[in-house]
Homo-oligomer: A and B are copies of this chain.
């Protein structure tokens, strides 16, 4: 049996996951809207044999309802406009051959029938490379775009997400694999005995079905999930194939890894069928000195006002601007938007004795994800340590800007991982499930 290897995804938050990354001399800030640049980036990632590219999403201009009252916009950071990602991955499908295409879409607003069609269609168009990152909406700005004043409560959002998942996956099972003979001779286009009506009636949704789409090449798209509160972990361990998490301390990573795998087993799943991939930002270069220099350049560009806005939106009802910026982080009231993330912040500030400004800059650098600045060897060392000590199955790679740091990773770090036998040199299969090494789910309606 070949040795266990890492799974790697490239996370896209254009024009950069670093709040000031777009201003770096090598950055192309137009990557947010330029389709040509998305194609280029996807092809670089595919050259690096990554498992997938992974697009975040919010159904609102992030920052349109800023908490500090200075105005509705965030003029200094990008992260605001980009093609709707499920549309974008469809367009990237014919421009790539092997790489998985994962887009984020919320379960808090919108209809499961529509979502099932869209992601199912991408799976067909791409020959089995689609993934759906199921989220429960992190930014409150979305509410106003869907007729609400505020987000529904955290608990209610997760309850809706569980049911949303059940409906969408039920719809994806509407037809058995061989339901469409399309037989010119007999005139039988469809075999009705292979079609199934869902008739879902739940608390949040009533959906009849069937989905007007044959079963997907992957059975269903790969499901990713990223919430990590208690209810977030419950959803992830039951539903997700791939979990994008935010642990940056090894022991926390190990704890999360063991916890979620045990939960998956409790749901009757094989632990290895859930791939756990913490976020990871590598700032690298041919030498450690070159990496350090890029890092210093980036930090010199950070603007505290922008960084403070990132912190402010994790503070729940507390107005962080009422507190001295170089003083300690005060206790935070519960956040409705992102419980797990807020808790991580509070623990980090306490552990490392960080001030408000330092916490803001921490968020402004890597969104709170683990960051390593170093040579390709140093970067690979950290990745290997996590991978081999029961903390993860791979990583979701974050980039401070596009596209150079992705190219650097592919050219410098990937070969190092390959030399160590930690990463593939060729794609194992043609679908994302095959490359991740996870099974095609059984159709719930098919005879055993």
Which chain A residues have a beta carbon within 8 Å of chain B's beta carbons?
15, 20, 22-23, 25, 27, 29-30, 33, 35, 39, 58-62, 64, 71-78, 80-84, 86-88, 90-91, 93-95, 109-111, 113-114, 117-118, 120-122, 124-125, 144-147, 174-175, 180, 182, 184, 187-192, 195, 197, 205-214, 301, 303
Contacts and interface: CB of A to CB of B under 8 A. Distances in A.
Contacts of A174: 61
A39 B73 CA distance: 41
B61 A147 contact: no
Given A76-B189, A91-B94, A94-B94, 7 more contacts: A23-B187, A33-B214, A75-B190, A81-B180, A109-B111, A144-B209, A146-B207
A179 to B, nearest CB: 9
Determine the main DSSP class of A at the interface with B.
Answer: loop
A197 B64 contact: yes
Nearest to A85: B121
Interface centre among A60, A113, A114, A122 (most CB of B within 10 A): A114
A36 B408 CA distance: 34
A195 B184 CA distance: 56
A37 to B, nearest CB: 12
B205 A147 contact: yes
Contacts of A20: 187
A212 B206 CA distance: 30
Given A81-B214, A82-B212, A88-B125, A192 B72 contact: yes
Most interface-central of A59, A71, A111, A208 (chain B CB within 10 A):
A208
A25 B184 CA distance: 8
B113 A39 contact: no
Given A124-B33, A207-B144, A212 B80 contact: yes
A184 B182 CA distance: 56
Closest 4 CB pairs of A and B: A144-B208, A83-B121, A73-B192, A90-B90
